[in-house]
Amino acid sequence: MNLKTSLLLLSALLLSACTAHRPPATGDQAPLSFDKKQVWQLVSMRGKEFKVSDGVVTLMFYPEGNAIRGLIACNRYFADYTLRLKDVTPEGTRYIIKMTDLSGGDVQCPEGDMAVQERYLALLEKADACLLTPYTLTLFRGGKETLKFELQ
């Protein structure tokens, strides 16, 4: 066997070894993740459109401290969270999520705003799953959509 043939066989062997041990693809998609620079704005609550005239509600994730922060009505709120990757689908990345130590501001807003704040914080605290796409974040409780956000 000449040197050229030996090198070709060795190259083919090395290439086949590299591809044989590649991990299985999950639809060739990497999981999407949260970025502290992303500001999510609430667009629906329990499937009903949430208009800007209802107030601005935002949500931001701080992955380095597993914390969230946001604005609601005339208050700020914060909580800790944990995430566990469930799967990656063509729709987006699904996570199991749990919020803890949720605290809303205690500035007394107009009555309607306080009612929105209480409903929102209750839904946020009870979220148990989420779907993250490049431009939307949807939170679920027991498989039902509770809160939907769009990337600002």
57-97 pLDDT tens trace: 999 999 999 999 999 978 999 999 999 999 999 999 999 99
Residue 3 lies in a domain: no
Host domain of residue 89 = 32-151
CATH no. for residue 124?
2.40.128.270
Question: Looking at the 3D structure of the chain, how many domains does it have?
Answer: 1
Residue 6 lies in a domain: no
CB contact at 8 A, 65 and 83: no
Residue 120 lies in a domain: yes
Residue 133 lies in a domain: yes
Residue 98, judged by CB atoms within 10 A of its CB (0-12, 13-18, 19+), counts as: middle
102-134 pLDDT tens trace: 998 778 777 778 888 889 999 999 999 999 999
Percent of the chain with pLDDT over 90: 63
Residue 68 lies in a domain: yes
One DSSP character per residue, the chain reads --HHHHHHHHHHHHHHHHHHTPPPPSTT-PPP---TT--EEEEEETTEE--GGG--BEEEEEGGGTEEEEEETTEEEEEEEEEEEEEE-SS-EEEEEEEEEEEE------HHHHHHHHHHHHHHHH--EEEE-SSEEEEEETTEEEEEEEE-
What CA–CA distance (Å, rounded) separates 31 from 41? 22
**Is this structure's pTM higher than 0.75?**
yes
15-30 pLDDT tens trace: 333 333 333 334 557 8
Residue 15 lies in a domain: no
Predicted confidence (pLDDT) at residue 44 exceeds the cutoff of 80: yes
The predicted structure's pLDDT at residue 104: 84
